[in-house]
């Protein structure tokens, strides 16, 4: 039984450690964002509760000298904190949408959609890798966005079809 608990602790550490590395990589790439998206993951009540529960579990494990799950719990809390710092937008090398980075060469098309609820923003839909990614940008940046896509040979489409 102790072996399986050790395996579980290692797998949890590996999973949350990988998630932390993905978040760190996304945060490093977002430093080159030229046009930022208005969509940003805000710290919600549930994120705070989950991170605090993780810290409570950490304290309990330290109190009872159960150090096996401590690295996994610390990686979990770090993942929650880092995931709230990720921004989306357009860079010189491609587009950042959450933790996903899309190179210009993989983009098949893009389309602007007017937002009915807010006249100051325009929704940018990007088609790449058989998926559709959405960025919400300021309307004043629309011409600059068009120029960036034209420089990188990405065509504007009227209809974005998903296979």
- In tens, the pLDDT along 92-146 reads 999 999 889 999 999 999 999 887 787 788 889 999 988 999 999 998 999 999 9
- Which residue segment(s) compose the domain that 133 sits in? 88-151
What is the reported pLDDT for 40?
62
pLDDT of residue 157: 80
Two tokens at 99? 């933790």
- 156 inside domain: no
Q: Are residues 98 and 52 in the same domain?
A: no
Answer yes or no: do 68 and 124 share one domain.
Answer: no
pLDDT of the residue at 41? 59
Of 140, 134, 89, residue with least CA distance to 113: 134
Q: Tell me: do 10 and 78 sit in the same domain.
A: yes
Domain boundary residue, one of 42, 67, 83: 83
What is the reported pLDDT for 9? 94
Residues 79, 20: contact at Cβ < 8 Å? yes
The span from the CA of 51 to the CA of 78, in Å, is 8
Are 126 and 90 in contact, with CB atoms under 8 Å apart? no
Q: What is the mean pLDDT of residues 34-60?
A: 85
User: Rounded mean pLDDT of 7-21?
Assistant: 96
Q: How many domains does the chain have?
A: 2
Average pLDDT estimate for 144-161: 82
Report the mean per-residue pLDDT for the chain.
Answer: 89
Instruction: Indicate the pLDDT class of residue 163, thresholds 50, 70 and 90.
Output: very low
Backbone angles phi, psi at 152, to 5 degrees: -105, 15
Last residue of a domain, one of 23, 49, 83: 83
């Amino acid at each position: 039984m102790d072996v399986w608990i050790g395996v579980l602790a290692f797998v949890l550490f590996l999973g949350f450690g990988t998630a932390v590395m993905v978040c760190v990589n996304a945060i490093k790439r977002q430093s080159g964002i030229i046009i930022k998206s208005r969509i940003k993951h805000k710290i919600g009540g549930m994120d705070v509760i989950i991170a605090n529960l993780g810290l409570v579990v950490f304290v309990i494990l330290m109190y009872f000298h159960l150090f096996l799950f401590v690295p996994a719990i610390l990686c979990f809390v770090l993942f929650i904190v880092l995931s709230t710092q990720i921004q989306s937008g357009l860079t010189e090398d491609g587009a950042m949408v959450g933790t996903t980075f899309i190179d210009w060469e993989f983009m098949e098309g893009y389309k602007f959609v007017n937002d009915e609820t807010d006249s100051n923003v325009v929704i940018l839909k990007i088609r790449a890798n058989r998926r559709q990614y959405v960025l919400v940008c300021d309307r004043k940046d629309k011409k600059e966005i068009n120029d960036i896509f034209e420089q990188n040979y990405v065509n504007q489409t009227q209809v974005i079809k998903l296979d």
